[in-house]
Amino acid sequence: MAVIGSGPAGIYTAEALVKQSAEPVAVDVLERLPTPYGLVRYGVAPDHTSIKSIANYLRRVLELPQVRFLGGVTLGEHLSVEDLLGVYDAVVYCTGAMVDRKLGIPGEDLPGSVAATDFVNWYCGHPDVDPDRFTLDTSEVAVIGVGNVAVDVVRVLAKTAEELSATDVPHEVLERLGESQVKAIHMIGRRGPEHAKFTLKELRELGELANADVCVRPEEAVVLGGDFPRQVQGNIKVLQSWAAREPVGRPRRLDVRFWMRPVEILGSERVEGLKLERTRLSEDGRVVGTGEFETLPVGMVLRSVGYRSVPLPGVPFSERTMTVPNEAGRVREREYVAGWLKRGPTGVIGTNKSDAAETVRTLLADLDGRERVGHDGIGALLASRGVRPVTYDEWLAVEAAEAELAKTLGRGERVKLVGLEAMLRACRP
Ligand SMILES: Cc1cc2nc3c(=O)[nH]c(=O)nc-3n(C[C@H](O)[C@H](O)[C@H](O)COP(=O)(O)OP(=O)(O)OC[C@H]3O[C@@H](n4cnc5c(N)ncnc54)[C@H](O)[C@@H]3O)c2cc1C
Ligand SMILES: NC(=O)c1ccc[n+]([C@@H]2O[C@H](COP(=O)([O-])OP(=O)(O)OC[C@H]3O[C@@H](n4cnc5c(N)ncnc54)[C@H](OP(=O)(O)O)[C@@H]3O)[C@@H](O)[C@H]2O)c1
C-alpha cells in the first residue's frame, strides 16, 4: 500500500492498515519533505510542547517493521497516480491542506498582508519559507480570524524571544522575533464571542501572557441568549472577565475585537492600515455590514481565516468543497483519501485517527478477494527518475543534528534546521 503524506492522517492510516489487515501488509509512506509528521512539525505552535510530543506516538508507527518512510518524494512531481497504481495494490492520499483561504478584499496582495499559513511556516522553520521572510518592524499588527490558528499566531507575536528560546523555533527566526517592534496586536472576529472558533484552553492561555495586556471592549463582549454549549459558555465567561480588566502596563497589548469585518487593506507601497466595518447578523443568520467604519493604523495584516487543500494532479477534486470527493474514504478503484484532504481543514490531530480508520475499513473491504498487483517496484521507479528517497534513518540523523544544534546554542531539546540543503547535509554528510 502507498500512503501519500506523512502528517497525522497519513501515519494513522499506515497504523490502521497494519492493525486492521487480516493478512500481512507492507505500507510505504511517501512524503514530499525529508521530514515526517506534517503539521505536527510545521503547524503546531512551538510553545505547545505537549501537543508536539504526539510525534513520539507517530514515530512508533514509522518504526513498525511493516511501514517504510520515503521522504523527499512528491506526488505530481516525481510520481504520477498511474505510477503508484502500477506498483501498489492501493493508494491513500493524505496531503492535507497547505494553502490559505482568501479574504477577497482590496489590498489583500499588498506587501505586509500575510497569510497565516506563511507566517506559521516561517516560525515553524518550514523549508518553503525563507527565515528572513519577515521582519516585525511595525508597531501594530492585525490578525483576522478568531480560530485556534489565530490564537497561535497572536501568542507567538505577543511573547518575548526569551519566552520562546527553549522551543524548536529556528535560531534565525528567534533573532527576528527578538527584534520585534510590535506593541499592539488586534485580533478581529467578524461575529460575536459566542461564534468564535477558538477553544477554551487555548483562549485562556492568552489571558496568562506575561508580556501582554489583554483587552476586550465591554460592549463587544455582550452576548444575547444563553443556551450555548459548555465550551462556548466558557469562552464567553473568559472574554467577559477580560472586559472587566484594566491593563497593567505590560510591554504589549492584545485587543480582541468582535463584530468587525475587514473591508479593505489600506496602503500604496505596503500595508498602512486596515479598514473595518461593524457587523451584525441578518435575519437569516448572515454577517452583514452596518455602514459604521473604523481604521486601524497597522503595518501588517495576518489573515488567519482557514486553510485550503490543493488538487493533486490526476486525482478528482471538488472546487466547491476544496476536498477530494469520496465515499467513506473511497475515491475510485484502489484510490482512497484521509485527513484534511478528505474532510476539509477542521479538527484536531486525534480527529484524523478515526477518520483514517474509516478509510482503511473501506479499503480493506474493497480489496477482500481481489487479485493483488502490488510489488516492490517503487525503489527502481524512483531510481530511474534520479530520486533518492530520504530514509527513516536519515530523518533520525536530521533529528540528532537538531538536538545537537540546541545543545550548542544553549536552547531546549531541539532547534529546527532550516532549508532542505541543511537537512540533507545533516543526513548525508
Ligand atoms: C497552524 C496549525 C496549528 C495546529 N495546531 C494543532 C494543535 O495544537 N493541536 C491539534 O490537535 N491540532 C492542531 N492543528 C490541526 C492538525 O494539525 C490537523 O488536524 C492535522 O495536521 C491534519 O492532518 P493531515 O495529515 O490531513 O495533514 P498535514 O498534517 O498537513 O499532513 C500532510 C502531509 O502531506 C505532505 N504532502 C503534501 N503534498 C504532498 C505531495 N504532493 N506528495 C507527497 N507529500 C505531500 C505534506 O508535506 C505533509 O507532511 C493545527 C493546524 C494548523 C494549521
Ligand atoms: N491548539 C489546537 O488544538 C489547535 C491549534 C491550531 C489549529 N487547530 C485546529 O485546526 C483547525 C483550523 O483552524 P483555523 O483557525 O485555521 O480555522 P477555523 O477554526 O475555521 O477559524 C477560522 C476563523 O476565520 C474566520 N473567517 C473566515 N473567513 C473570514 C472572512 N472572510 N473574514 C473574517 N473572518 C473570517 C472564521 O470566522 P467565522 O466563524 O465567522 O467563519 C473563524 O473565526 C481547527 O479545527 C482548529 O481547531 C487546533
Are the C-beta atoms of 254 and 206 separated by less than 8 Å?
A: yes
The Cβ of residue 23 has, within 10 Å, a number of other Cβ atoms equal to 8
Q: Which CATH superfamily is domain 100-303 in?
A: FAD/NAD(P)-binding domain (3.50.50.60)
Q: How many whole angstroms separate alpha carbon 130 and alpha carbon 422?
A: 13
- For 419-424, what is the mean pLDDT? 95
- Which CA distances in Å does 221 have to 181, 196, 256, 260, 322? 29, 12, 10, 12, 33
Q: Give the per-residue pLDDT at 80.
A: 98
Q: How many whole angstroms separate alpha carbon 7 and alpha carbon 95?
A: 8
Residue 348 has pLDDT above 80, yes or no: yes
Minimal CA–CA distance to 263: which of 281, 288, 285, 282? Answer: 288
* Of 11-15, 50-54, 156-160, minimum mean pLDDT range: 50-54
Cα of 429 vs centre of ligand 2, distance in Å, is 41
Residue 394 has pLDDT above 90, yes or no: yes
Residue with CA at minimum distance from ligand 1 atom 21:
39
- For 245-273, what is the mean pLDDT? 97
Q: pLDDT digits over 174-228, tens only?
A: 999 999 999 999 999 999 999 999 999 999 999 999 999 999 999 999 998 878 9
- For 228-235, what is the mean pLDDT? 95
Residue 338, SS3 per DSSP: coil
Residue with CA at minimum distance from ligand 1 atom 16:
349
Q: How many whole angstroms separate alpha carbon 394 and alpha carbon 406?
A: 19
User: Is the pTM value of this prediction over 0.95?
Assistant: yes
Burial class (CB in 10 A: 0-12, 13-18, 19+), 279: buried
Q: Give the per-residue pLDDT at 111.
A: 97
Q: For a pocket test of ligand 1, which of 3, 13, 39 has the largest count of ligand atoms closer than 8 A to its C-beta?
A: 39
Whose atoms come closest to the Cα of 44: which ligand?
Answer: 1
Q: How many whole angstroms separate alpha carbon 96 and alpha carbon 98?
A: 6
User: Predicted confidence band at 238 (pLDDT cuts at 50, 70, 90)?
Assistant: very high
Compute the residue count for the chain: 429
Are the C-beta atoms of 67 and 27 separated by less than 8 Å?
A: yes
The Cβ of residue 134 has, within 10 Å, a number of other Cβ atoms equal to 20
Q: How many whole angstroms separate alpha carbon 93 and alpha carbon 326?
A: 11
Cα of 31 vs centre of ligand 1, distance in Å, is 12
User: Predicted confidence band at 429 (pLDDT cuts at 50, 70, 90)?
Assistant: confident
Residue 27 has pLDDT above 90, yes or no: yes
The Cβ of residue 277 has, within 10 Å, a number of other Cβ atoms equal to 19
Q: What is the CB < 6 Å shell around ligand 2?
A: 103, 144-150, 152, 189-191, 195, 197, 202, 261, 304-307, 345-348
Q: For a pocket test of ligand 1, which of 349, 351, 423 has the largest count of ligand atoms closer than 8 A to its C-beta?
A: 349
Q: How many whole angstroms separate alpha carbon 348 and alpha carbon 216?
A: 27
User: What residue spans in the chain does CATH classification 3.50.50.60 cover?
Assistant: 100-303
Minimal CA–CA distance to 12: which of 308, 358, 389? Answer: 358
Q: How many whole angstroms separate alpha carbon 169 and alpha carbon 418?
A: 10
Which residues lie closer than 8 Å to 221 by C-beta, 6 or more apart?
Answer: 193, 236, 239, 240, 242, 243, 258
Q: Give the per-residue pLDDT at 20.
A: 96
User: What residue spans in the chain does CATH classification 3.40.50.720 cover?
Assistant: 2-98+309-390
The beta strands (E) that lie in 297-416 are given as: 300-303, 307-308, 330-332, 335-337
Mean pLDDT of the chain: 96
- Which CA distances in Å does 398 have to 86, 131, 146, 345? 32, 18, 35, 29
Q: Give the per-residue pLDDT at 225.
A: 80
Segment (H or E) for 261:
strand 260-266
Can you read off the three cell numbers belonging to residue 400? 540528532
- For 17-27, what is the mean pLDDT? 96
Residue 87 has pLDDT above 90, yes or no: yes
CATH of domain 2-98+309-390: 3.40.50.720
Minimal CA–CA distance to 46: which of 117, 136, 122, 97? Answer: 122
Whose atoms come closest to the Cα of 32: which ligand?
Answer: 1
